[in-house]
Structure 1
């Protein structure tokens, strides 16, 4: 685009998407008289999943607005907590977010996860078909129009990723209710029902078990339980403080 210019100012939280040279004030962007404002914003690096509102000369406009020369645009960040109307809150995570997926499942959050790279078109199609919020650090994936909904994961650290998703969407938490391997629901199980998955020491030391309804995997309070308990307590403690 090399036509008349508009001025665009991004909310501070969106600075991560904008080149350093554009963070200190309004950005000048050329328009062509045809492209929508949503297209212009994305061409500058900001996925629309992260945009909470667009104001042109102080008035709200949709992403389909076609900007005219000289307009001043304010791009607001998504308000938190973010509501996702139209379906139960469920997530889909790409291949790079396996740890986050397992931690969400530990907390009882419905989090589907692709352990192999099936490609952006397939991920977007699954998001639409199952009405799942796509969580990703891939800006290109989040720009795909067929997505049902999406959100950028800002951090590369699992603890911060989890905190961010919980703060942004405030999903209901039911710790210890989902299989961290496949996302299925857990049910109580007797030692006899899961005996084929237990080694001798486990059989002697533990009496309380659960089993996944989908994949059959057995669960008990083993050697890593304290680490998992710390993740749960951190999430529930943060929810209490926020509330």
Structure 2
């Protein structure tokens, strides 16, 4: 871009995406006089999924605004909790976020997950077709125009990733209601119905079981239940902080 210059300042929450030279107050950016402000912001490194209000000379404008010479632009982060209009809150995670997918499903959050690298176009198309919020650490993927909605996952640690999603979107948790393997809904079942899936020790030790309605995987409170229970309890405390004092 080599046209009218604007002054642009990014909120500290967005500094991860911009060069160091643009992190300390307003900086000058050249435009071409025809591109939208949304395009300019993305060209400077920030996916629009991470952008909240765009303020021009103190007034909010849409991403379609075409900046004029000398305008002062403030780029703010997405407000939290972020509301996603038009569909029930559902997620789609890319191949690199398998642990996060399992933890969201553990909380009963509708979470699709691609265990294979099917490519950015296919992921974006699925997000649009199923109206799912795509969660990814791939900035290029989050810039695809066909994407229905998306969000960058800032951390590489599953515990922190889960906190990010809970804080940003505030999904309503329904623990122990979804299959962590396929996202299907669980139903109560009997030991006899799932006996073929059980080892002898499990069959002797446990009496309460659930089964996925889709893949028919069996679930019970096994050796790892305490660890999973701790994950759920921490998430519930974060989702409903008032409950901590009750």
In 1, distance between residues paired with 2:173 and 2:232?
9
Structure 1 residue 235 displacement after superposition: 0.3
Q: How does 1:1-243 map to 2 (within 5 A)?
A: 1-241=1-241
Per-residue CA deviations over 1:22-59 (Å, capped at 9, x if unaligned) read 11111211011011110000011100011111111111
How many positions carry a matched residue from both structures? 243
Per-residue CA deviations over 1:86-127 (Å, capped at 9, x if unaligned) read 000000000000000000000000000000000000000000
Greater Cα shift, 209-218 or 14-23: 14-23
In 2, distance between residues paired with 1:109 and 1:205?
30
Q: Secondary structure at the match of 2:240?
A: helix
TM-score (norm 2): 0.97
Per-residue CA deviations over 1:171-204 (Å, capped at 9, x if unaligned) read 1100000000000000001000000000000000
Structure 1 residue 60 displacement after superposition: 1.1
Moved over 6 A (4+): none
Task: Give the 3 Å change call, closer, same or farther, for CA 242–85 of structure 1 in structure 2.
Answer: farther
Structure 1 residue 11 displacement after superposition: 1.0
In 1, distance between residues paired with 2:191 and 2:242?
39
Q: Secondary structure at the match of 2:33?
A: coil
Q: Secondary structure at the match of 1:102?
A: helix
Structure 1 residue 242 displacement after superposition: 6.2
Any conservation in 1 of the 2:166–2:238 contact (CA below 8 Å)? no
Any conservation in 1 of the 2:103–2:162 contact (CA below 8 Å)? yes
In 2, distance between residues paired with 1:115 and 1:27?
41
TM-score (norm 1): 0.98
CA root-mean-square deviation: 0.9
In 2, distance between residues paired with 1:221 and 1:63?
49
In 2, distance between residues paired with 1:222 and 1:63?
50
